[in-house]
Structure 1
Amino acid sequence: MSAARISQRISAIAESATLAVDAKAKALKAAGRPVIGFGAGEPDFPTPGYIVQAAIEAASQPKYHRYSPAGGLPELKQAIADKTFRDSGYKAEASQVLVTNGGKQAVYNTFATLLDPGDEVIVPTPFWTTYPEAIRLGGGVPVEVFAGPEQGYLVTVDQLEAALTERTKILLFVSPSNPTGAVYSPEQVKEIGQWAASKGLWVVTDEIYEHLTYDGVPFTSIATAVPELGDKMVILNGVAKTYAMTGWRVGWMIGPADVIKAATNLQSHATSNVSNIPQVAALAAVSGPLTAVDEMKVAFDRRRKAIVAGLNAIDGVDCPTPKGAFYVYADVRALLGKEFPSANGPVRPATSAELAALILDEVEVAVVPGEAFGPSGYLRLSYALGDDDLATGVARLQDFLGKAK
């Protein structure tokens, strides 16, 4: 009997839906189609000049043309520890930091390091599309806990308790959330963290949107709010969203020294060090002011209000106002099964995936369907794009979705 060409482990991984949508939108634009892309969570601003200049200067220094420690440049690790204390009040040593090739490698490293086969991870849902795949790659089992728009996309302790089993090892906690933009209040963060501590669970918290909250809503780090979690805590973060550095690929994980040492061993065999030039750029970013993100937030807030108002003007669309990140998560369940015109005659999309495909084909607007993040019936749209494109895209959606019968 011939062996399968692709391993079961890798065959089971789904393509990143957000990257797939973005790639298709960019391919259509390259072919001359006027596509508006709401798919990728990518600020449309350039990386601040002082960060770029630091990279340019680093590129001319021979010491950065060589291998560096797999765990990250020592000065960057210290700067990340200092930045974390500055921004969230969480005290960590440089030895507790691992610099990774973007936030995704930090996610993978963490689950690969902490999980044994069959260990369960509670995943509040809707979730970022990479989390369950990274959990499975680490041998774990993602356990989805769904919170819909009626509860602000925020899970409760009662829901978490119902998902708990003897195999549960980790609670994944994300606030502000991708894909919903939901932000847990300080009281909710504390309640959830204390519950996890009382159960002896690890908490893995992704804080990459920490500086993107609106309407006076505070960011609360569960690591700081619940010190009783002790050393069963891993913080994930990176420079991508705060400093408009998605393409530079620098993220990190912060955790107990033994976990970081083990994850560094893994990374030493997987990729070795992150490219030195982006590390120097990241050093300039985390050591510098937060002026860039403050300026971006003004634009994001304006776009947030515009897209929520525009989507809620469509019959059959319910779009809660997000309090963080730069996404809206629109409930389109009322549109499924309705009739829409198309080039090939009337169509009745039964799922949000079918509706998203129809929207792209008919009006050249790229959105990501709820199936990428959990149950069907929702569309995620990033408002981290230019004001004109946002207005044009929303107008196309209003025109097309308004034709539902």
Structure 2
Amino acid sequence: MALDRYGQFKPVGPTESLREKSAQLARMCPFSPHARNEDAIAAERFSEAPERDGRLGHYETAYVGAVREAGFRGSGSSGGMVTWVAAELLRLGLVDGVAHVAPSAGSGFFRYTISRTAEALHEGAKSRYYPVELSGVLDKIRRVPGRYAVVGVPCFIKAIHLQRETDPVLAERISYTLGLFCGHMKSARLVESFAWQMDTAVEAVERPEFRIKGPERPANWYTAHLTLRSGDTRQKDWFYLADGDWGAGFFQNSACNWCDDVLAETADIAFGDAWVEPYSSDWRGTNVVVIRDRLLRDVVGRAIADERLDLRTVDADYIANTQAAGLRQRREGLGYRLTWRRGGLRPRKRVEPSTDLPIDRKFIYRLRYGISAWSHRMFSLARHLAQPKLYLSWARMSLGLYQGLAYGRGRAGALARRLRLTDRND
């Protein structure tokens, strides 16, 4: 795997070699129409789970809350639950190592690593909106005997299960999967754009952070923070950035337009942010948790009883409401995108193609798709010409149009209201 000119990971190698392996890759790629889908994988893994929901998948129980035990909530982007569960698996001797994303001293800012202590796990806490890939860490799991947990976004967890089906070593050694709810993946150019907008070059950046906690800002108020090699720092809130609206889709990987899994339905346990009040305003961060594995259900239940975790049980509707925007994009929006004429293979998804939605929603999905595609191209051109203003001017114009349609702002908002009225009259 290597980064392409748009800062997205792609497979590389001789064309002949890739062609020879195409049948094998088609069974393992999480986006391949020839691979088993999430429903089939989850039905096999969690057949005894008492709950089943079309948005969450199979599950034992679901919670909202945070870690009460010291040292976890404050060091993470949200409620600290991802690092706590990983550390608890190590403490109980259920795994010997945890594969997760952590800062990298080598090429790129982040990479997958294996931690064997709670202290090492804390180095990987917080959200990392940066491209990574699994090949190196899976090779290490193959080489070094033991039991492992892997933390990843939905497509990564699905890919691991597909690999385990044909690789007996991985099947034996990967004992648990910890999923992260996902809106979409970003390319490496997001950090570079942030650097441009903070009057510096990406080469001067030593470490980026995407979410900073503090009592002066609510949890849903994202702040980008860059530590430079000189020791200086730069910081700017996302809503002041030309491409800082997550929902607009700037630098989104193209595959994300064809994904229908928001809540990591094949993971043994999955975590997201509680994007509903009063939690979205709580600067400390709060998790929603969906547990699918029975043993992990008991581990978390005991910790709640021991007051190490502050969690309360919630239902499927509550969890889905915290991820409402992502589910609209991956279900309603995906159904609409599947009706578009495209060359090549048509994705085979769990969502049926449909044009049955209001005209303003169609405009939003069209615009979002265009922004995600053209942000890569415009940034590449601006980078080639050494003219950051070319991309930034385009991004601000596109963001203004998107926010007008999506949130009813300005002239675009007035247009959206007229479109809705016309659609109802028709």
TM-score, normalising length: structure 1: 0.29
TM-score, normalising length: structure 2: 0.28
Which one has more relative contact order, counting CA pairs under 8 Å at least 6 apart?
1
